[in-house]
């Protein structure tokens, strides 16, 4: 842990003279009967005194030190963290020192919601992003897909208006290291939306080319196909003939086809049928062909692919009927 923030276990509070004025509130027999917690003696001792000072609404330095021990014993306890925040404000403690403290706790408990919530509150109180982007990057060095870390980074960027090329470049770095990092793909999409660049042609061209480079080498990477489809959701897949041509070429040159590629092409054909484009029967035939292929390479969802096949035929029949009724 950082210098000056190390938390050491105290002796039992029941044996300390400076806590002699407090009568601990021990767990009741009913509590132990209903929800039996296998807690050690130190846990029961510390939390019994915590209950007592909470009941008294005591604001003191000793209570703040008590929360240190309780956090070490159970960092997921919401009440301890809320009480600590009340004490921080009332006692006027150094918030930056508290940031260092919570940073150490997060590194030990990276998947704990309460510790991330505490850090966010501190950053809000301080009023500037400080080193939060670097901090989350350090967390991702150990665990690239830490959900709470990504949520925190999103909040920091949005709250302090830090959206920009730096964040896109950061995701590029992560994705070149691990193109299967779905969290990085989601964050990249979030940044483009927040930056209001998602519909800019120049940005779209860059992002599509980035997807082509990765999907062309890793056709079984589901994340990149989802990202590519997300980029085109506004105008539709058929709005980019260059993407269709690229996907068709990839399909024709690939033997061990990933079902993500085939389903991407199926979605294109379904859009063409929906839009009533010329050659409707051809699009239905191709859609059925892709559905049959998907039944073989993705048998777990056979029923879904059969449904898609029936849907393609139904869409085409509706288009024919509509054309007959409105010549």
Residue carrying the six token digits 């793909």: 185
Q: Which of 111, 217, 292, 318 is catalytic?
A: 111
pLDDT mean for each 10 residues of the chain (327 residues): 44 92 86 64 94 97 97 95 98 97 96 97 97 98 96 98 97 97 98 93 96 95 97 94 97 92 96 81 93 96 96 79 61
pTM score: 0.88
Q: How far is CA 207 from CA 204, 231, 241, 259, 314, in A?
A: 5, 8, 16, 22, 34
Catalytic annotation present for 111: yes
Residues 6+ apart with CB under 8 A from 57: none
Given a contact cutoff of 8 angstroms between Cβ atoms, the answer to whether 118 and 79 are in contact is: no
Residue carrying the six token digits 């897909």: 145
Q: Which two tokens stand for residue 100?
A: 């260092």
Q: How far apart are CA 103 and CA 139, in angstroms?
A: 10
Nearest by Cα to 93 from 126, 120, 66 = 126
Instruction: Give residue 88's pLDDT.
Output: 98
Instruction: Give residue 1's pLDDT.
Output: 40
Torsion over CA: 155, 71, 127, 137 (sign):
negative
First and final CA of the chain: distance in angstroms? Answer: 77
Residues 6+ apart with CB under 8 A from 22: 13, 49, 52, 53, 56
φ/ψ of 321, rounded to 5, equals -60, -40
Instruction: Give residue 2's pLDDT.
Output: 41
Given a contact cutoff of 8 angstroms between Cβ atoms, the answer to whether 66 and 50 are in contact is: yes
Nearest by Cα to 222 from 214, 231, 234 = 214
Given a contact cutoff of 8 angstroms between Cβ atoms, the answer to whether 7 and 68 are in contact is: yes
Instruction: Give residue 324's pLDDT.
Output: 60
DSSP H helices in the chain: 29-34, 41-56, 61-73, 78-91, 95-108, 113-126, 132-142, 147-159, 165-177, 182-194, 201-217, 222-231, 241-253, 259-274, 280-297, 302-325
């Amino acid at each position: 842990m950082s210098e000056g923030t190390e938390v050491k276990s105290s002796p039992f509070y029941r044996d300390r003279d400076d806590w002699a004025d407090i009568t601990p509130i021990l767990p009741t027999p009913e509590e132990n009967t209903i929800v039996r917690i296998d807690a050690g003696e130190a846990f029961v001792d510390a939390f019994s005194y915590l209950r007592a000072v909470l009941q008294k609404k005591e604001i003191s330095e000793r209570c703040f030190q008590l929360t240190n021990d309780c956090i070490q014993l159970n960092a997921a306890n919401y009440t301890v963290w809320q009480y600590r925040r009340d004490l921080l404000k009332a006692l006027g403690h150094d918030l930056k020192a508290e940031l260092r403290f919570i940073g150490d706790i997060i590194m030990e408990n990276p998947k704990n919601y309460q510790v991330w919530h505490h850090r966010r509150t501190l950053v809000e109180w301080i009023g500037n992003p400080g080193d939060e982007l670097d901090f989350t990057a350090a967390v991702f060095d150990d665990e690239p897909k830490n959900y709470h870390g990504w949520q925190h980074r999103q909040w920091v960027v949005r709250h302090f208006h830090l959206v920009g090329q730096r964040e896109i470049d950061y995701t590029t770095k992560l994705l070149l290291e691990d193109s299967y990092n779905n969290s990085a793909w989601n964050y990249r999409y979030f940044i483009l939306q927040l930056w209001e660049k998602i519909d800019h042609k120049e940005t779209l061209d860059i992002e599509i080319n980035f997807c082509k480079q990765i999907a062309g080498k890793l056709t079984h990477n589901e994340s990149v196909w989802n990202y590519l489809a997300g980029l085109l959701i506004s105008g539709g897949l058929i709005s980019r003939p260059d993407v269709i041509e690229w996907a068709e070429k990839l399909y024709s040159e690939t033997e061990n086809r990933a079902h993500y590629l085939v389903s991407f092409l199926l979605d294109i054909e379904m859009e063409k049928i929906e839009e009533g484009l010329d050659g409707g029967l051809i699009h239905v035939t191709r859609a059925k062909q892709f559905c049959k292929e998907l039944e073989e390479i993705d048998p777990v969802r056979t029923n879904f692919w059969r449904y898609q096949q029936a849907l393609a035929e139904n869409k085409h029949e509706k288009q024919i009927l509509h054309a007959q009724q409105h010549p």
